[in-house]
């Protein structure tokens, strides 16, 4: 009898899981694979709110003044005209291949050197981010060139991989010499499952913290606690390469302000520094330029972008790859499953078991990946574990993609080989494992 | 030694200045990001000495900005808006080209797609047609339409996605091409009946093609590139041009006040070159090239220059009455869509089993429904002019609104009358 109940219970759990996946995931494999609405939305929501948010996400914004007041306010300083420019197909950006190529889906963060290993101040003249474009009458801030140093690494069974290590050179300063400045290049990240990430159970993330590596496994992730200025409470940073942003709305609004120069209720100031007078005096597109309704629409769109369902999970190579992923210790940070909060909103997001393959903790990734720029509570070497869901579709949705924060890796294997610090042991394991296992590991990643 | 050092220094300086001070070419466009991205990247790779600065504006805004005396510093204008180019040319804002246009047709059918005086040239064309999912049409027992008029039939009830011209800019030409082909009243009567079978699609970000993919409609009025890029990106749909349609050209022109005319000419050359035209085949773009030789790279793409599709359209007429048409569409259709749908649905229902007397009554009701109280306007018609300029002048806006209101009341009375007649006929039967 007990056995029968157990079977029924398992059946209910399994069907509930299938139901959840049906609601949140897409099986689309085309170039639109990362752009589909979650199936839980009804037809009206898909054609209405979701499409309206997508329209704003794709919108090319206009320099003020304009007769189209709903879409003006670009700049005065900006990196791109639209969100889509850096997140093509909602996938990943890429790094230029050399100094003569423009950064098309990448930007450079700036700050000045200081004593604090976790925080650094924005550049006094150029602010926290180099904006390469400006509206007429306002000087652009300059250009960032990317230079590479190449090296070759030998793997087991005679396989070799060439890696490129980037360095940033700032040129054509628009407001005087840059002086001593810390830089950090960032490609546009994939925008998968952000609504769900916001709803991950806080305790779940906290339970994986091991700041002092008490279990001596070489992994010592920690939460990036962010102080909410309004309430003076601390919250878990979940978004951004440094886990420095708490909410999806804040993530969106900060990108609008820093990357496109559009103010919002959350970021009401234009991105001009105290000495950028022409920038301060430029025509505004409204106060704020991005209305609350527009911010909400973009938020709705990103919140309800469907998560790609894993593929080929029954293929022997993928099954083997999954085992290799675990054996190599990757799952210590790239956690295969996380639970969402029981009080998540919308209710359809509550109590879901999702598979972003991240613990949303900061980890020391070693010297090679360090940008030596303390940022919002993270040291230069600390990076948030990159979520891997949808990573196998990156090349499907984008003509050209990069991996890691600065896009230095052009393949998944290169990305693995850059792991250092807490990821060093796994990386060494991958170098030395049989080629067939390595190939299986990559097949597994491509199935996500 | 000294000489070689000097040579090297000069060369290095030149090289450095070449990289550091590429010419900035200001390009005003209304194209979406994918088009800009594909073209800009390829152009800058081909011409590293020229850097594009994209100034994005919708066509009406671009025109308003460029017609100002002290306008933004713009070298090139590149967008799908015949109206904008004609107006800029009329105001002396465009420079004449000196490009070699070998391989570029001037005409599509009988219609010039580039300016005969060479002030602007076509860069791509886009045609109107219908998007559907063949399997779903089959399941619903609907035959693939091959002319607009097929959609008048009762079986298309609630199965069509039709854009509203006052809210969806590409619909202006869609509406007018049928009026030009069928004549003013016949064309409008056909739109009335098609609209009675349709879901009207306004602004809001969704594409008509998505109404089909989401199952809200079985067929959508759209432009070829919306459908083709959707299909290239994985949608399981098909697009057809009806027997008679219209193609809308996009253009590029150089501003007479351009500060970088040489770089501007280089950009224009690139856009219409074999390479530039081939980029239109990118899955996110799928626009029709104006260079016929490029079609050999895309065997599935129909080549309008081959003459298989009937294209007949007077752009001047369409442009001058586009706002007027939009007002008439709203007055006759959008504002009374429920009544219009209801009336035609009842009419079709009754017609199925009607005897001779009922047929006569239905014929009378049809006449009421299809009364058309608006004559085809002359191009100097005051209301047409007021509606065309309603966004610039409050008085003209008021005049246009008054016309719309009066017309809307007239149509409402007409539809109410038809509904009453239908009710009486239903009671009798």
Residue A262 placed within a domain: yes
Is the CB of B33 inside 8 Å of chain A's CB atoms?
yes
- Helix %, strand %, coil % for chain B, to 5? 55, 15, 30
**Full DSSP string of B102-134:** TT--SEETTEE-S-TTSS-EEEEEEEEEEEE-H
Does the structure show a pLDDT above 60 at A18?
no
Which residue in B48, B60, B216 is closest to A47 by CB distance?
B216
Of B54, B73, B216, Cβ closest to residue A43: B216
Task: Among A47, A51, A60, select the one facing B56 at the smallest CB separation.
Answer: A60
Domain assignment present for A72: yes
The C-alpha of B351 sits at a distance from chain A's nearest C-alpha, in angstroms, of 33
The answer to whether position A385 is within a domain reads yes
> CA B359 to CA B425: how far, in whole Å?
10
Residue A370: which domain range?
Answer: 17-446
Window 131-190 of B, Cβ < 8 Å to A:
none
**Can you give the pLDDT at residue B21?**
65
Cβ neighbours of A84 in B, within 8 Å? 33-34
Least confident of A174-178, A402-406, B11-15, B359-363: B11-15
Which string of DSSP letters, residue by residue, matches A57-123?
HHPPPBPSS-S-GGGB---SEES-SSSTTTSGGGS-----SSTTS--SSEEEEEEB--S-SS--BPB
The pLDDT value recorded for residue B204 is: 75
Q: How many domains does chain A have?
A: 1
Q: Sorting pLDDT into bands at 50, 70 and 90, what band is A21?
A: low
Query: CA of B251 to nearest chain A CA: how many angstroms apart?
Result: 19
Instruction: Label residue A16 by pLDDT band (50, 70, 90).
Output: very low
pLDDT of residue B99: 67
Give the burial class of B26: count Cβ atoms within 10 A of its Cβ; 0-12 exposed, 13-18 middle, 19 or more buried: buried
* Average pLDDT value over all residues in chain A: 93
Rounded CA gap, B195 and B187, in Å?
A: 12
pLDDT band at B214 (very low <50, low <70, confident <90, very high): confident
pLDDT of residue B7: 43
Residue ranges of chain B that CATH labels 3.40.190.10: 18-125+248-311
pLDDT in tens, B383-394: 999 999 988 889
B105–A contact, CB cutoff 8 A: no
Q: Is the pLDDT of residue A22 over 80?
A: no
B180 CB neighbour count, 10 Å cutoff = 18
Contact B37 A102 (CB under 8 A): no
Question: How high is the pLDDT of residue A437?
Answer: 98
Q: Do B233 and A47 touch (CB under 8 A)?
A: no
What would the mean pLDDT of B242-264 be, rounded to a whole number? 96
- The answer to whether residue A11 is domain-embedded is no
Q: Please give the pLDDT value at position B411.
A: 98
Write out chain B residues lying below 8 Å of A171, CB-based.
20
pLDDT digits (tens, 9 = 90+) for B73-126: 999 999 999 999 999 999 999 999 876 677 788 889 888 999 999 999 999 999
Residues of B in contact with A259 (CB under 8 A): none
Provide mean pLDDT across the span B379-386.
96
Q: Give the best residue of A67, A75, A99, A399 to mutate against chain B (max B CB count within 10 A).
A: A67
What average pLDDT does this structure show over B279-288? 95
Task: Give the angle A393-A397-A401 at the CA atoms, nearest 5°.
Answer: 85
CB contact under 8 A, B33 and A136: no
Residues 6+ apart with CB under 8 A from B263: B23, B25, B50, B75
In the predicted model, what is the mean pLDDT of residues B171-189? 97
Helix B322-332, helix B394-428: angle, nearest 10: 40
- C-beta atoms of A55 and B204 within 8 A: yes
Q: How confident is the model at residue B207, as a pLDDT?
A: 87
Is pLDDT above 90 for A230?
A: no
Residues on chain B touching A38 (C-beta within 8 angstroms): none
Across the range B268-289, mean pLDDT stands at 96
Task: Report whether B320 contacts B379 (CB < 8 A).
Answer: yes
pLDDT (tens digit per residue) in B3-51: 444 444 444 444 444 344 689 999 999 999 999 999 999 999 999 999 9
**Backbone φ and ψ of A251, nearest 5°:** -60, -45
pLDDT of residue B5: 42
Q: What is the pLDDT, as a whole number, of residue A166?
A: 98
Rounded CA separation A254/A258 (Å): 6
CB contact, 8 Å: B70 with chain A?
no
Lowest pLDDT segment from B2-16, B140-154, B338-352? B2-16
> Is B218's pLDDT higher than 90?
yes
Mean pLDDT of chain B: 92
Backbone angles phi, psi at B372, to 5 degrees: -130, 95
Instruction: Tokens for A186, please give them.
Output: 């960032």
Whole-number percent of chain A with pLDDT over 90 = 90
Contacting residues of A for B167, CB less than 8 Å apart: none
How many A×B Cβ pairs under 8 Å?
Answer: 90
Task: Flag whether A351 is in a domain.
Answer: yes
- Whether the predicted pLDDT of A19 surpasses 80: no
B255 touches chain A (CB under 8 A): no
Q: Is residue A258 part of a domain?
A: yes
Selecting from A29, A51, A136 the residue whose C-beta is nearest the C-beta of B205 gives A51
Residue pair B152/B197 in contact (Cβ under 8 Å)? The answer is yes
Q: Please check the confidence at residue A80 and state whether its pLDDT lies above 80.
A: yes
Architecture of domain B18-125+248-311: 3-Layer(aba) Sandwich (3.40)
> Which residue of chain A is at minimal alpha-carbon distance from B51?
A102
Q: Report the residue of chain A nearest B206, measured CA to CA.
A: A51
ipTM above 0.95, yes or no: no
Residues A29 and A311 sit within 8 Å (Cβ to Cβ): yes
* Choice between B254 and B428, residue whose per-residue pLDDT is larger: B254
pLDDT value at position A15? 39
Hey, of B28, B56, B80, B282, which one would you mutate to test binding to chain A, going by the most A CBs within 10 A of its CB? B56
């Amino acid at each position: 009898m007990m056995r029968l109940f157990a079977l029924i219970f398992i059946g209910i759990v399994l069907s509930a899981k299938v139901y959840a996946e049906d609601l949140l995931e897409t099986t689309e494999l085309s170039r639109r694979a990362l752009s589909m609405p979650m199936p839980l939305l009804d037809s009206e929501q898909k054609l209405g709110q979701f499409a309206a948010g997508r329209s704003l996400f794709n919108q090319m914004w206009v320099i003020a003044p304009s007769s189209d007041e709903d879409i003006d306010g670009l700049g005065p300083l900006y990196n791109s005209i639209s969100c889509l420019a850096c997140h093509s197909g909602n996938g990943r950006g890429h790094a230029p291949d050399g100094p003569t190529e423009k950064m098309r889906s990448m930007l450079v963060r700036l700050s000045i050197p200081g004593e604090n290993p976790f925080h650094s101040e924005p550049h006094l003249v150029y602010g926290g981010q180099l904006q390469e474009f400006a509206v007429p009458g306002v000087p652009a801030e300059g250009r960032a060139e990317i230079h590479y140093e190449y090296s070759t690494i030998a793997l087991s069974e005679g396989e070799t991989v060439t890696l490129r290590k980037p360095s940033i050179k700032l040129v054509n300063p628009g407001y005087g010499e840059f002086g001593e400045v810390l830089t950090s290049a960032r490609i546009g990240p994939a925008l998968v499952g952000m609504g769900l990430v916001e709803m991950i159970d806080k305790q779940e993330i906290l339970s994986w913290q091991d700041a002092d590596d008490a279990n001596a496994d070489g992994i010592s992730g920690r939460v990036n606690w962010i102080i909410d200025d309004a309430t003076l409470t601390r919250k878990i940073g979940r978004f951004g390469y440094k886990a420095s942003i708490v909410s999806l709305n804040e993530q969106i609004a900060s990108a609008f302000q820093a990357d496109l120069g559009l103010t919002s209720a959350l970021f009401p100031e234009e991105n001009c520094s105290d000495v950028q007078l022409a920038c301060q005096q430029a025509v505004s597109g409204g106060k704020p330029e991005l209305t609350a309704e527009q911010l909400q629409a973009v938020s709705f769109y990103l919140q309800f972008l469907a998560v790609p369902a894993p593929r080929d999970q029954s293929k022997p190579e993928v099954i083997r790859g999954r085992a290799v992923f675990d054996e190599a210790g990757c799952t210590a940070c790239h956690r295969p499953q996380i639970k969402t909060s029981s009080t998540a909103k919308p209710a359809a997001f509550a109590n879901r078991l999702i598979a972003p393959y991240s613990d949303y903790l900061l980890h020391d990734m070693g010297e090679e990946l360090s940008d030596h720029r303390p940022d919002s509570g993270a040291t230069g070497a600390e990076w948030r574990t990159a979520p891997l869901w949808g990573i196998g579709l990156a090349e499907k949705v984008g003509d050209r993609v990069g991996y890691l924060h600065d896009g230095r890796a052009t393949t998944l294997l290169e990305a693995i080989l850059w792991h250092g610090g807490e990821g060093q042991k796994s990386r060494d394991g991958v170098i030395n494992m049989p080629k067939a296992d390595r190939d299986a590991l990559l097949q597994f990643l491509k199935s996500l | 030694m000294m000489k070689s050092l000097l040579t090297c220094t000069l060369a290095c300086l030149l090289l450095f200045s070449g990289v550091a001070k590429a010419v900035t070419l200001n390009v005003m466009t209304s194209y979406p990001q994918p088009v800009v991205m594909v073209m800009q990247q390829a152009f800058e790779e081909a011409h590293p000495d020229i850097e594009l600065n994209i100034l994005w504006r919708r066509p009406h805004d671009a025109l308003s900005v460029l017609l100002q005396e002290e306008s933004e510093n713009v070298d090139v204008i590149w967008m799908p808006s015949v109206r904008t180019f004609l107006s800029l040319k009329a105001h002396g804002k465009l420079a004449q080209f000196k490009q070699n246009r070998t391989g570029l047709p001037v005409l599509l059918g009988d219609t010039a797609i580039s300016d005969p005086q060479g002030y602007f040239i076509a860069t791509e064309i886009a045609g109107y047609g219908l998007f559907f999912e063949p399997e779903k049409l089959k399941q619903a027992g609907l035959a693939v339409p091959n002319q607009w008029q097929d959609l008048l039939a009762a079986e298309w009830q609630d199965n069509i996605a039709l854009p509203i011209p006052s809210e969806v800019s590409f619909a202006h030409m869609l509406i007018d091409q049928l009026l030009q082909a069928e004549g003013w009243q016949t064309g409008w009567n056909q739109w009335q009946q098609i609209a009675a079978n349709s879901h009207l699609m306004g602004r809001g970000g969704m594409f008509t093609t998505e109404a089909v993919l989401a199952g809200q409609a079985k067929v959508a009025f759209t432009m070829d590139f919306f459908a083709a890029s959707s299909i290239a990106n994985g949608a399981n749909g098909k697009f057809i041009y009806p027997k008679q349609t219209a193609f809308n050209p996009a253009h590029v022109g150089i501003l007479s006040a351009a500060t970088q005319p040489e770089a501007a000419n280089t950009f224009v050359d690139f856009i219409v070159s074999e390479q530039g035209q081939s980029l239109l085949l990118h899955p996110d773009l799928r626009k029709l090239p104006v260079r016929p030789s490029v079609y050999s790279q895309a065997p599935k793409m129909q080549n309008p220059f081959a003459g298989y599709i009937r294209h007949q359209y007077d752009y001047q007429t369409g442009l001058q009455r586009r706002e007027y048409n939009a007002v008439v569409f709203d007055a006759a259709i959008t504002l009374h869509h429920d009544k219009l749908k209801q009336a035609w649905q009842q009419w079709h229902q009754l017609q199925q089993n009607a005897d001779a007397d009922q047929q006569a009554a239905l014929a009378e009701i049809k006449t009421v429904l299809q009364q058309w109280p608006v004559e085809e306007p002359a191009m100097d018609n005051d209301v047409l002019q007021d509606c065309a300029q309603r966004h610039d002048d409050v008085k003209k806006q008021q005049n246009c609104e008054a016309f719309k209101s009066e017309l809307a009341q007239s149509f409402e009375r007409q539809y109410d009358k038809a509904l009453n007649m239908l009710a009486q006929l239903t009671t009798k039967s």
